[in-house]
Structure 1
C-alpha cells in the first residue's frame, strides 16, 4: 500500500503540469518545476520533519547493520511526502529507494510494536523490501532475489516462506489498485542469435565502463555538495544546475519511464521528443549523440537532485541510463557500415541489465528483474553474459555499490559472512568494563597496595595523567615480586612499573571486527579503550567471546 500511494501521489503531481494551459510554456517549466519541488522538500524538512532523510536502501542497510533493525517511525511518512514532490516536479530520481524505505520502516515498527526479536525484525525488513520491489515492478521472483542479494538475507525455509508471502501479497495489492499494466512494455520481436554473442560481450564492456562512470560521478558530486554546510546554499546551487540541465535535455525530467518504453518500442523520435535545439532527427548519428548525451547526463542530473536536497532512488535512473546506452550501441553497430545487424530493442533491454548489475552490484537481481518485468526470458543468455561482464569489471574498479560504499568504509556493511555480521551488530558499550581503579604515574608503591590492590578484584590498573590521557597499565604481576618489600613502598613509582600495552582500542574508529583482530594479533587478554584520546575502559577477551557467542546463537537460531 505504501508503494501504491507513493506512485499515485507522484503521478498525480506530474499530471497537474500536463494540462493544456501549460503547453505554451513547456520549456520554461522544465527549468522552474524541479526548483519548486526541491524548495517544497526543503521547507518540509526544515519546518516540519526537522530530521535527516537518507537514501532509502542505504539507510535501511545501516539500520540493519548498526541499529539492530530499529528504524525511526518518521521514515514511514517522510519519503512518502518528499519523494513524490521531488520526482513529481521533475527531479531526475526514481521511487524504488523511497518505496523500500517506507516498507522497511513499516516492517521495523511492526516488529517493535509486537516486541519481536532482532532476527525477526531483520526478516520483516527484508520482506518489506521484497514487497516494495514486487509492488513497484510487478516482479515477485526478482523481488525475492533483490531482498536476498541486497540485504544479505539467508536462503532458508524459515525466511523463504515469509519472503514469498510478502512478495506475492504486494503484487496482488498492486494489481488490485493499479491494474495489470507493467512499467516497462516489451515484446520480443527478434530472437537471440548465437552469432550476436560478440556484440553482447562488447555491450557488457560498455556498460561496465558506464557503471564505473556512474559510480564515480555519484561520489564526486556528493562530495562536492557536502562541502557546503548550508542546506539553502545546496538548494540554490543544485536547483539552478538541475533546472538548467532539464531545460536543455528535457528527457532527464522525472523518472524516465516514457523514454525507456519508447526505446523498447524502437521509436527513438518520440523517446527523444522535444529539444531546445533545432536538430535533424532523421540523421541517425545526431540521434546517437543525443542518446549518449542523455545517458551521460542522467547520472549527473540524478546526483545533483540529491545534492540539492531531493529525495528519491537511484534504481530507475540506472535503468534509464542503461536503456539509452544500449539503444545507442545497437544503432552504432547497425550503422557503422560493416553490414552488421543487431536488435535495437533487445540491446535497449539488456543495456538496463548491464548498468544495474554494475552500478548496484546486483547481477542476479538485474537478470531476473529485467527478464520478469518484460517477459524477456528468451533473452536469458545475453542477459547473463552482459550482467556477468559488467559486474565483474565494475567490482574490480569500484569495490562497493553506491548503496554500500560508505557503510563498507566504516565497517558497517552486512554481508553473507555470518562471522562478520555477528561482530558488526555487537554493541561495544556492552563489552567495555569500567570498574578499574585508576592510577597516576607519580603514585608510590605503598599507596598502590593500600588504595588499589587491596580494594580491587582486578589485576589490571590503568595509568592516566592529569588530563585523563592513557599512559599505560600496571598489572599485579608487575609488582608481585616487590609488593612485600617495605623499603620500596616510598621509593618506587607507578611510572617505574607500568607497561605500555601492545595495542589500543579506539572507541570511535575501531569496528568489532578490528577489535577481534587486535586481540588475535596481540595475544593480549585485556586491551584498553581510548575515547577522544582519553582513557575510557577495558575490553577483555573472555567478555567479548561470551557476547559473540550469545549473538551468534541469536543469528543462527
Structure 2
C-alpha cells in the first residue's frame, strides 16, 4: 500500500515533467524568433526532432527505447515484470523531443512506461514476487493516466483492462491509492486545469439512440482502418534496413503531411478542444482550402481527412524512430470522426431536429478508444469523468459496446497487444493462458537422455546407450547433432540379447519418428501443451534450429504448471 502511494506520486511527477518539457519545446519553436515563419518550418521540425532522438538513442542510451505500453506488456509476460533501469528516464527525454518537434504521437504511453519501469525496479529492491511486481506496474499505469486526465476511476479501469489485472480487493486498493496519489500531485502542479476542459451543454435525447448506434458502427470501421494502416505502414517501412535511411524517408514524408495538414502537428489536443467547443475553423487551422471554408461540405471533407491521415502521420513518426504512444492519436481521430458524423447528419436536411455536435464529438472519442484499444470501460468512464457528469453514460455505453463488439469480431486483439498475441506472449484474464505464458520452457527441459548417432549399429546402442542410461528413450542425431528420430527401449527389447544381430542391425532400422517435436524458438507453452495432448506422449524431444537439445516430460511440465498457478493466484 505504501509503495503504491509512492509510485502514484512519482508517476504523477513524471507526467508533469514530460508534459512540461513538451510544452517548453513547442513554445520555443513557436517563439518570436520564427513566429512569422512557423508554417514554413512545419516541413523540417519533425525531421529535426527525430534526428535528435535518433542520436540520443544511438550514442547516449545505446539501446532501443520501446513504445510505451507494448514494451511494458512484453516485460510482464516474458520478463517476469522486470524492466531495465534506463527505461525510467529514456522516455522522459525522447518523448517530449519527438512530440515537441511535431511528431504526431501521444505522451500517455511513454508516461505509463516510465512509471511502470519505476514500479518494476522498486519491486526488485524489495524483492517482491512477480504478482506483486505486476500489480505495482499497474499502479504506475493508473497513476500516469490519473495525473494526465484527472480521471482517477478511468485510470484504475485502464490498468485493469490493458494490463489484465485481477478485479479483487487486493489489487483494487493499491490501484486506488496510486490513482489518488497521482491526481493530488497533478492538482498540486496544475491546479484545476485539465487537458480537455469541457462542460456538457446538451442533454441526451432518447430519439438520438439510432444515431449513436450508427456512430458505433462507424467507430468500428475506423478502428479497423486504424489498426490496418498502423501495422501495414510499420511493416512496409521496416523493410528499409538502415535506421537512418528509414528516419529520413519517413521523417520527410511526415513533414510534408504536416505542412499540408497543420492539425496533424504534435499530440493534437488543441484540435480536440476546438472540436469539442464546435470551433471547427480553428481546429482546421490555416490550410490550402481556407477560401472555401464557408462551405460546410468542404469543412466535412477536411475533418474526414483528419481521420484518414492522423494514423498515417502517427505510423510515420513511429517508423522514423520517434518515441510516443497512440492514445492521443486515437482521441484525435475519434473527436474528428464524431464531429464529422454529427455535421453530416445536421446538414443533410433529412431530419427535423439537429443533434448535439459536441456530444457526438465526445462519444466518437469513446467509440474509437473502445475499438482500437479494446478498452470499452476505460472509454466510457474517461469521457464521463472528463465532462464531470454521467449525462452521456447511455450513449457512451451504446457506441462503445457496438464498436468493441464489431471490432473484436474481426480483430481479436488491440493495437497494444496484436504483436504480442501473434507471438504467444500476451497475458489475458484467462488464468490458464496466463500461467502458460508465464512458464519458462527452458526450466522443464531434461538433458539426461543419451543421444545415439545415426551411423551406429545395435551393439553400439546397447553398450553406449542402454547400459549407461536409466531412461527408456534415446534421441537419434547425426554428426551435426541434428535431430533425426527416437529409439524406444520397447522396440529393441526383443533383439537386444541376440549378439548375432549387433553388427547387422543399424540404427536406421530400429529408429522411428517422434510423435511431435518441440521447437524451443517458435513453440510457446500453449502449443507445447497441445502437442502433448494430441500425441498422448509422455516425453517429447526439444530442438533449436533443428539440433537436439533435450526432452520435456509431461509429468515435469504439469508440476511446473501447478507451481506457476500457485504463484499467479496467491
TM range (shorter): over 0.9
Partner residue in 2 for 1:283: 295
Q: Give CA deviations for 1:426-466 in whole Å, capped at 9, x if unaligned.
A: 11110111121111123222222222212112111111111
Deviation at 1:356, TM superposition (A): 0.5
CA deviations 1:372-430 (Å, max 9, x no partner) are 12224100000011101111111122221111111111111100011111111111110
Give the corresponding residue for 1:505: 518
Match of 1:477 in 2: 490
Match of 2:414 among 401, 404, 407: 401
Deviation at 1:484, TM superposition (A): 2.0
Q: How does 1:436-455 map to 2 (within 5 A)?
A: 436-455=449-468
Question: Residue 428 of structure 2 aligns with which residue?
Answer: 415
Give the unaligned 5+ runs of structure 1. Answer: none
**TM-score of the superposed pair, with normalisation by structure 1:** 0.98
In the alignment, the residues of structure 2 paired with residue 440 and residue 238 of structure 1 have an alpha-carbon distance, to the nearest angstrom, of: 53
Deviates more, 1:282-291 or 1:166-175: 282-291
Cross-structure match for 1:390? 403
Q: Does the alignment pair 1:268 with 2:280?
A: yes
Which consecutive unaligned segments of at least 5 residues does structure 2 have? 1-12
CA distance in 2, matches of 1:306, 1:450: 60
Q: Deviations over 1:150-196 (max 9, x none)?
A: 11000111111111111110111111112111111121111000001
Match for 1:73 among 78, 85, 95? 85
Measure how far apart 1:280 and its partner are. Answer: 2.7
266-275 or 226-235, larger mean C-alpha shift:
266-275
C-alpha separation in 2, matches of 1:224 and 1:444:
53
Give SS of 2:484's match: strand
Instruction: Please point out which of 426, 429, 441 is paired with 2:442.
Output: 429
Distance in 1 of aligned mates of 2:362 and 2:250: 31
Classify 1:93/1:447 alpha carbon distance in 2 versus 1 (closer, same or farther; 3 Å): same
1:196-241 deviation digits (Å, cap 9, x = unpaired): 1111111111111111111111011101111011111111111111
Distance in structure 2 (CA, Å) of the matches to 1:264 and 1:49: 40
Is structure 2 residue 134 aligned with structure 1 residue 138?
no
Deviation of 1:307 (Å): 0.8
The question of whether the paired residues in 2 share the 8 Å contact of 1:333 and 1:340 is answered with no
Partners of 1:278 and 1:554 in 2: CA distance: 62
- The runs of at least 4 aligned residues of structure 1 exceeding 6 Å deviation read none
For the 8 Å contact 2:458–2:501, the answer to whether it is kept is: yes
Aligned length: 557
What CA deviation, in whole Å up to 9, does each residue of 1:34-53 have, x standing for no partner? 11111100111111111111
The corresponding residue for 1:547 is 560
- Which residue number in structure 1 is paired with residue 3 of structure 2? none
Q: Please list, as runs of the form range in 1=range in 2, the aligned pairs for 1:158-237 lying within 5 A after superposition.
A: 158-237=170-249
Counterpart of 2:381? 368
Instruction: Say whether the 8 Å CA contact 2:30–2:38 is kept in structure 1.
Output: no
Note if contact 1:185-1:264 (Cα within 8 Å) is conserved in structure 2. no
Q: Is the 8 A contact 1:2 1:80 kept in 2?
A: yes
Helix, strand or coil: the match of 2:34?
helix
Q: Which residue of 2 aligns with 1:535?
A: 548
